[in-house]
Amino acid sequence: MNKINQVFAERGERKLLSLYFCAGTPTLDCTGEVIKTMQRRGIDFIEVGIPFSDPLADGPVIQTAATKALKNGMSVQLLFEQLKSIKDEVNIPLILMGYLNPILHYGIEAFCQSCAEAGVSGMIIPDLPFDDYLNTVKPAADKYDLRVIMLITPETSEERVRFIDDNTDGFIYMVSSAAITGAQKSFDEQKQEYFRRIDAMKLRNPRMIGFGISNAQTLKAAQDNAAGAIIGSKFVTLLDESKNADEALDRLFDALKH
């Protein structure tokens, strides 16, 4: 069974936590240690960002991290080499999050094969058109037992949500708002209504809520309306400031209490 599906099958009523960081930051060679530290500290999923020069869905924090990673020398090929080196030590699902351009340059089939060889369980490609997913990416991903996670936003129609639910596996990434990534202090009533509306659809796939989660209020709203929460910008900021994954996680867990 794919590790992503296994986590959801075994979680019971427990709410899950997924963290994002950009590979190659704060240092080029830290990727493996950051992942192993997150695993040791009980994180359920890890989204490993592939740095790209034009990350359209990302706010300033993740854009800056991507720029630093590229300057440090991170590449898709190097990332796969780093992941392969820790493959036998990592049991939790790794999900690569990256934009379509570098993946196309690497080659869809080659990318999926490298994912499987490096112990990756799935991928998130924010700018992947759904037709291209169905016709090109999904066949290759299925061949290597990889899950392609699709995003929905408050603007996604119910028909589209159903279509995504019917044609994907793993989980659905619920973007909390149609804006770019970045920490928020609270989710307003409009966002809460969106959470409730999707919950009422009783989708086949579990849902994880991301974008803007940085404190107890936003974490609780995500956990109340989905299987768990995804945190990116807040952790990226703390990791950049501390240069140490353990310290960054200490500070994150503390922030999520308030």
The residues annotated with a catalytic role in the active site are: 47, 58
Categorise residue 201: left if φ over 0, alpha if ψ from -120 to 50, beta otherwise.
alpha
Contact in structure between 232 and 222 (CB atoms under 8 Å): no
Determine the residue type at 83: L
Select from 247, 234, 162 the least CA-distant residue to 18: 234
| Cα within 13 Å of Cα(48), Cβ side | 28
Tokens matching residue 234: 């807040």
Contact in structure between 161 and 199 (CB atoms under 8 Å): no
Distance CA 59, CA 211 (A): 10
Residue 162: in which H helix or E strand, if any? Answer: helix 158-167
